[in-house]
């Protein structure tokens, strides 16, 4: 369901008089429908936590197929024999408690269930298998994974930060709210400077991934999902592809240190321009595109010579002070009179000073990118060791901006290891207005986090590659739908959290760290905040009164 809207309509949307140079850049825009649609996995054998085996004793009576509500057992029309069970749909051990447990119900005892030993090889501390499986389920169905699956998808096993934070839900929601009374939108321009008060419908937008680092299909899927959810996606450092033009209204042009593909038009055509000072994946280090990845297509868009290695210097060679930074922002604001500017920085020890400096230079959005995220290739030494994890940075910057009286004039956006709706809610409770996500979108597209994106031909699963053969594994409709579904499921999870707190808007959650507890602390500070909810010992952040699950932090991935 796509339609073209004339540029004039969009002028009204902006509610502002646009300068001629901006109007000149406008092209017809494509709409993308927000609806959830099933987007089943694209591999023949999808991962299953429990695998169902059917033995030769099976007489193909069809009893199991009648019983199982999850459609694990399929006999294709016209066939007498059953196909291989679709184990990934099976809810596993929890089914024992139901009346339809096929393993017990099969009159021939032909079915067997085993825990898939391969699960141990899937995922890592930050993205354990359950989180990957849960994210895939969300991308497939648009719903949070059903409870029967018993997937602990909200927290990872990293043993710190988000993974040790839990919400203190009140025993009973203080107000009975229905889902549609809860607002998840946030405003990205909190300055009264006459520029548009851009609101996004969900408190997140998509992070920058350049063409070259990911495929066209990946980039476009992200952009289209951003359109569907009225949020944003970002070009990344590699320049603005013509194919992104129909989504201009939901794109952020990134101005990074290499200035690849940065031209007046690419700044004028978008509502937000992001200055990337640093990135969490490799804080303090510039990008480096190897010569053989600088293909003719990449070279064209980056306005570079084919085959030579492209370095992005670090940092901006034109910025050595806040005053220099201000000049940069003024430059963008002058070229694009309707644009908001975002300043993306990493998380040094003095991240609070950086943030307040950036605020005083006139940024609309302070985007903190913590060290544990990132999708692009980065030196291993940088991933683990440089800069502070985002959880600390959010709390530190939020507090400092509050103390400086600046907090309500700037949007604080966090990224770098935000993986789930629960992480999003925790980041907001720690003090962010919203977040930027990256890895989770790739996981929705089928990423297994094998981290080989930069090796040889790039991603073997066709996500982070420009190899002409590998990219054909994924199509645009599917990719778009998977991300739309993930966003839908996240929003539901987020609403579930807000509802339990009786909050009508996600904006009420900002900075409410009193609603969080840390499993490694005694949580004996600041308990007597006004309107603080009753303490709950429920350590699980999942909605609907689910039994608290013991946080499993020591399990090896």
Partner 1 sequence: MPEKYHISTTPVPPRLPRIGKYGIVDWREDCARCHNCVKKACVYDRHRQESAYLRTLKYSNFLFFECMGCFYCVQNCTKELLALTINSEYENLGNQYWTPEIIQTTWQQAETASVPVSGAGYRGKFAGRGFDAMWTDMSEIVRPTRDGIHGREYISTSVDIGRKPAHLEFKEGRIVSETPEILDIPIPLILDMNPPEFTLPRLEPFILEAVRMTDIIAIVDSTKWPECLNEKQRQRMDAYLPNIAFHLNSEAPEIPKDVLRKTRMVEIPDSDDALDRRAALREAVPGIVVSIRVPLNKRGVDRAVALVDQGADVIHGVADFNGNEINVKNPRFIKDMIREIHTRLINSGARDQVTLIAGGGIALPEHMAKALLCGADVVSSYLPFMIALECRLCSDCKPGLSCPAGLEAIGFDYGVGRMRNLIAAWYLQLIELMGAMGMREARRLRGDVGRAMFFEQMEEEIFGTLFGTRKQA
The item of partner 1, ligand SF4, none sharing an interface with residue 421, based on CB under 5 to 8 Å by kind, is none
Residues 6+ apart with CB under 8 A from 364: 188, 189, 190, 191, 195, 340, 341, 342, 410, 411
Phi and psi angles of residue 487, each rounded to the nearest 5 degrees, phi first: -60, -40
Closest CB to partner 1 among residues 231, 375: 375
User: Is residue 151 a contact point for ligand SF4 (CB under 6 A)?
Assistant: no
User: Is residue 456 a contact point for ligand SF4 (CB under 6 A)?
Assistant: no
Q: How far is the CB of 81 from partner 1 (least distance, A)?
A: 14
Closest CB to partner 1 among residues 189, 473: 473
- Give me 239's structure tokens: 């320049």
Closest CB to ligand SF4 among residues 304, 453: 453
User: Is residue 146 a contact point for ligand SF4 (CB under 6 A)?
Assistant: no
What is the H or E stretch that residue 20 is in?
helix 20-24
Angle, CA of 28, 31 and 37, to the nearest 5° = 155
Q: How far is the CB of 346 from partner 1 (least distance, A)?
A: 6
Residues 38-57 that bind ligand SF4 (CB under 6 A): 52, 54
- 379 vs 115: CA distance, rounded Å: 35
Closest CB to partner 1 among residues 249, 373: 373
The item of partner 1, ligand SF4, none sharing an interface with residue 108, based on CB under 5 to 8 Å by kind, is ligand SF4
User: Is residue 90 a contact point for ligand SF4 (CB under 6 A)?
Assistant: yes
The item of ligand SF4, partner 1, none sharing an interface with residue 88, based on CB under 5 to 8 Å by kind, is none
Q: Report helix, strand or coil for 438.
A: coil
Closest CB to ligand SF4 among residues 124, 265: 124
- Spatial contact of 206 and 436, defined as CB atoms under 8 Å apart: yes
User: Is residue 79 a contact point for ligand SF4 (CB under 6 A)?
Assistant: no
Closest CB to partner 1 among residues 354, 411: 354
- 435 vs 153: CA distance, rounded Å: 19
The item of partner 1, ligand SF4, none sharing an interface with residue 101, based on CB under 5 to 8 Å by kind, is ligand SF4
Q: How far is the CB of 56 from ligand SF4 (least distance, A)?
A: 10
User: Is residue 470 a contact point for ligand SF4 (CB under 6 A)?
Assistant: no
Angle, CA of 361, 413 and 227, to the nearest 5° = 110
Strand 204-206 relative to strand 365-369, pairing: unpaired
Q: How far is the CB of 42 from partner 1 (least distance, A)?
A: 9
Question: Residue 76, Cβ neighbours under 10 Å: how many?
Answer: 8
The item of ligand SF4, partner 1, none sharing an interface with residue 106, based on CB under 5 to 8 Å by kind, is ligand SF4
CA distances from 267 to 42, 236, 329 (A): 36, 13, 12
DSSP state of 410: S
Closest CB to ligand SF4 among residues 313, 379: 379
- Spatial contact of 276 and 237, defined as CB atoms under 8 Å apart: yes
Q: Shortest CA distance to 483 belongs to which of 424, 440, 532, 514?
A: 440
Residues 6+ apart with CB under 8 A from 397: 351, 352, 355, 366, 368, 412, 431
Cα 49 to chain centroid distance, Å, stands at: 24
Residues 101-140 that bind ligand SF4 (CB under 6 A): 101-103, 106, 108, 110-111
What is the H or E stretch that residue 66 is in?
helix 63-67
The item of partner 1, ligand SF4, none sharing an interface with residue 349, based on CB under 5 to 8 Å by kind, is partner 1
Closest CB to ligand SF4 among residues 345, 437: 437
User: Is residue 34 a contact point for ligand SF4 (CB under 6 A)?
Assistant: no
Closest CB to ligand SF4 among residues 80, 537: 80
Residues 412-451 that bind ligand SF4 (CB under 6 A): 442, 447-451
Dihedral over Cα of 538, 89, 162, 235: its sign: negative
In the complex, which residues of this chain contact ligand SF4 (CB under 6 A)? 52, 54, 58-64, 67-68, 70, 72-73, 82, 90-91, 95, 100-103, 106, 108, 110-111, 442, 447-453, 459-461, 463-464
């Amino acid at each position: 369901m796509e339609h073209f809207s004339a540029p004039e309509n969009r002028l009204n949307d902006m509610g502002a008089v646009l300068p001629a140079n901006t109007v000149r850049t406008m092209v017809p825009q494509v709409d993308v429908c927000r609806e959830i649609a099933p987007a089943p996995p694209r591999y023949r054998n999808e991962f299953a936590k429990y695998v169902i085996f059917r033995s030769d004793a099976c007489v193909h009576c069809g009893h199991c197929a009648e019983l199982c509500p999850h459609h694990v057992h399929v006999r294709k029309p016209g066939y007498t024999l059953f196909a291989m069970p679709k184990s990934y749909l099976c809810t596993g051990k929890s089914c024992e408690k139901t009346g339809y447990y096929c393993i017990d119900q099969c009159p021939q005892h032909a079915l067997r269930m085993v825990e898939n030993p391969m699960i141990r090889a899937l995922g890592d501390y930050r993205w354990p298998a359950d989180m990957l499986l849960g994210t895939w389920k969300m991308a497939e169905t648009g719903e949070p994974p059903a409870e029967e699956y018993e997937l602990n998808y909200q927290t990872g096993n990293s043993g710190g930060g988000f993974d040790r934070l839990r919400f203190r839900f009140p025993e009973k929601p203080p107000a009975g709210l229905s889902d549609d009374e809860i607002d998840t939108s946030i405003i990205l321009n909190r300055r009264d400077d006459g520029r548009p008060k851009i609101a996004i419908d969900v408190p997140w937008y998509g992070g920058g991934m350049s063409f070259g680092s990911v495929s066209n299909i990946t980039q476009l899927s992200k952009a289209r999902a951003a359109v569907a959810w009225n949020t944003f996606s970002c070009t990344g450092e590699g320049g603005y592809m013509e194919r992104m033009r129909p989504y201009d209204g939901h794109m952020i042009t990134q101005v990074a240190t290499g200035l690849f593909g940065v031209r007046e038009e690419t700044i004028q055509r978008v509502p937000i321009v992001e200055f990337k000072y640093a990135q969490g994946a490799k804080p303090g280090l510039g990008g480096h595109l190897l010569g053989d990845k600088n293909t003719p297509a990449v070279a064209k868009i980056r306005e570079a010579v084919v085959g030579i290695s492209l370095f992005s210097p670090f940092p901006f060679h034109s910025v050595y002070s806040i005053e220099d930074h201000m000049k940069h922002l003024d430059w963008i604001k002058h070229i694009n009179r309707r644009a908001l500017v975002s300043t993306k920085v990493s998380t040094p020890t003095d991240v609070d000073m950086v943030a307040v400096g950036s605020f005083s230079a006139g940024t609309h959005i302070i985007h903190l990118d913590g060290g544990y995220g990132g999708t692009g290739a980065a030196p291993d030494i940088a991933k683990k060791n440089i800069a502070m994890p985002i959880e600390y940075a959010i709390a530190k910057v939020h507090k400092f901006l509050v103390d400086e009286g600046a907090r309500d004039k700037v949007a604080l956006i966090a990224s770098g290891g935000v993986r789930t709706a629960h992480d999003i809610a925790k980041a907001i409770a720690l003090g962010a207005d919203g977040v930027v996500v990256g890895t989770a979108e790739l996981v929705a597209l089928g990423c297994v986090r094998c981290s080989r994106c930069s090796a040889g031909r790039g991603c073997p699963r066709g996500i982070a590659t420009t190899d002409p053969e590998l990219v054909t594994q994924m199509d645009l409709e599917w990719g778009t739908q998977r991300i739309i579904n993930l966003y839908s499921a996240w929003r539901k999870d987020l609403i579930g959290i807000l509802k339990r707190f009786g909050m009508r808007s996600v904006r009420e959650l900002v900075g409410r760290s009193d609603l969080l507890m840390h499993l490694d602390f005694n949580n004996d500070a600041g308990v007597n905040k006004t309107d603080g909810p009753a303490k709950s010992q429920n350590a699980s952040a999942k909605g609907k009164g689910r039994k608290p699950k013991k946080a499993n932090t020591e399990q090896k991935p």
